[in-house]
Amino acid sequence: MANIKDLKKKIRSTQSTSKITTAMKLVSAAKLNKAQQAISGARPYANELDSTIKTISALVRDYNHPYFNKNESAKSLILVISSDKGLCGGYNVQLTKKLDSFLKGNEDDYKLYFIGKKAKELLKSKVSFGKTITFEKSEPSFIEFNNIVDELAALFKSGEYGKVYIAYNSFNSAISFTSNVKQVLPMELDSEEKSRLNDEFPFDFKYEPKPSVILDALVPQALVSTVWTAQLDALASEHGSRMAAMDNASKNCKELIRTLTLKMNKLRQAGITTELIEVVSGAESLNN
């Protein structure tokens, strides 16, 4: 049974932990606010650009782009966006579970590129590792991500990989995210969606410049926008998950401090009661 000295030591240790978790929660909350603004600004542009490309490519005949072409390679590449640091709840675990489920459900030969080391540590020997991408700062710049997309696109266009995916956590709210594995290459428009767009726009648009020039400019931008938005989603999800995890940790610390303090007070009270009984018993023995 713990004595009062041990309980005091545990309380001080828990109080120190509580200070750390509270500080981490506040830092994550500040970063989350910035990340939320970034993803809120990027999503409308990415969605509208994707919609525009789908519409034009569905209506324009005899247009082809390297990003639309399918090749015979059975090898696929997955860019996994996880975190470099832990203490963010189920952020990395849920992503790796989703990715593991996806890999088991497909027979292709997959190679994984990683942004962030935590997913790589969790998967370990389960997959074929490509490389781990690092940045100058903890949060990558748009230019750095543009270079990554160019590298992925070059591997696809060379025919080395038949498909390119991104695995990431999509931000829903400060306490909620959804793990996704999304195909980005080749850019495919299924026949049902193409038919729907043709029915929705039964007339011809006038283009200036011509459609092929417009699409040649927009398609690469759409790929970069899709991957960049996934990175912003992942970043916001990470900060939200860490903020929630640290909030729960702080609450648990407070509850543990309360429990330990109550236990310590009971032991102290028991000690005082024992001493009083000894004093009274001694006094009674002297009177007798």
Instruction: Please list the residues that pair with 79 across neighbouring strands.
Output: 113, 166
Q: Do residues 210 and 269 both lie within one domain?
A: no
Distance CA 122, CA 103 (A): 15
117 phi and psi angles, rounded to 5 deg: -95, -15
CA-based nearest residue to 211, from 58, 12, 19: 58
Q: What is the pLDDT along the chain (288 residues), one digit of tens a residue?
A: 568 889 999 999 999 999 999 999 999 999 999 999 999 999 999 999 988 888 888 778 777 888 988 888 888 999 999 999 889 989 999 999 999 899 887 777 888 999 998 998 888 766 667 788 888 887 888 899 899 999 999 999 999 999 999 999 999 998 899 999 999 998 887 777 777 877 877 767 777 888 888 888 999 999 999 999 999 999 999 999 999 999 999 999 999 999 999 999 998 888 888 888 877 777 777 776
- Residue 173 domain-assigned (yes or no): yes
83 neighbors 121 (Cβ within 8 angstroms): no
The structure tokens 């690469």 sit at 220
Q: Do residues 158 and 228 both lie within one domain?
A: yes
CATH number at residue 129: 3.40.1380.10
- Specify the number of domains making up the chain: 2
Q: Do residues 134 and 225 both lie within one domain?
A: yes
User: What count of residues does the chain have?
Assistant: 288
Domain carrying residue 182: 24-244
pTM of the model as a whole = 0.87
Distance CA 258, CA 256 (A): 5
- Residue 225 domain-assigned (yes or no): yes
- Residue 33 domain-assigned (yes or no): yes
